[in-house]
Amino acid sequence: MVAPFYLVLIVSYFLIASGNTEVKALYAFKLNLVDPNGILQTWDPTLINPCSWDHIECRTDNSAFLVRLGNANLTGVLAPQLGDLRNLHSLELYSNNFMGTMPYELGNLTKLVTLDLFLNNLTGPIPDTLGNLKKLRVFFAGNPGLTMPEAGSPPSLPFGNSATTAIAGGAASLCAAVAFALAWW
């Protein structure tokens, strides 16, 4: 049978291609960082997926599920390529010195549930694109220069819970999530 063989080839091609996209994205992120403790040493851009790298956890598909870089003494900006991590559920960057603005591309992370930016030095508006992510909780306290989404309105429910967040839509959902995050901290 020829067809199954081709199917395997095609499937492998897509798995490898998606791995490369994530390696490229995370490596672009690393290139924007100063890492005095060398915790990103295992981030080798010649590998076909990032699953063996320190501080990255994969689940299915050899695709990054968690990025754990809290309290890691990192300084730098958030590369827009982070938006290419299509299976990412959690991006933990608390207690570092991330600066600059939050890229709008973070709104492309359709599976993201936790975005933890607590205690950094980010500035500018929280991207309104995050309002599309219904399950997302953003922890942004401790970044005095961050402001609410430009397109968003003030939250009508100051302390939303996850259920309200999931039901509400768009920017309102983001504000509820943000309020929840603040309350949590």
Summarize as ranges the residues that interact with ligand NAG (CB under 6 A): 36-37, 73, 83, 97, 99, 104-105, 107-108, 121, 123, 129
User: What three-state secondary structure class fits 179?
Assistant: helix
What token pair was written down for 58? 């994969």
Pick 20 or 73: Cβ nearer ligand NAG: 73
Pick 51 or 102: Cβ nearer ligand NAG: 102
Pick 50 or 83: Cβ nearer ligand NAG: 83
Q: Is 1 exposed, middle or buried (0-12, 13-18, 19+ CB in 10 A)?
A: exposed
| Smallest separation, CB 105 to ligand NAG (Å) | 4
Pick 130 or 178: Cβ nearer ligand NAG: 130
User: What three-state secondary structure class fits 90?
Assistant: strand
Give 121-139 as a DSSP string. Answer: EEEEEPPGGGGG-TT-EEE
| Smallest separation, CB 143 to ligand NAG (Å) | 9
What token pair was written down for 169? 């839509």
| Smallest separation, CB 128 to ligand NAG (Å) | 9
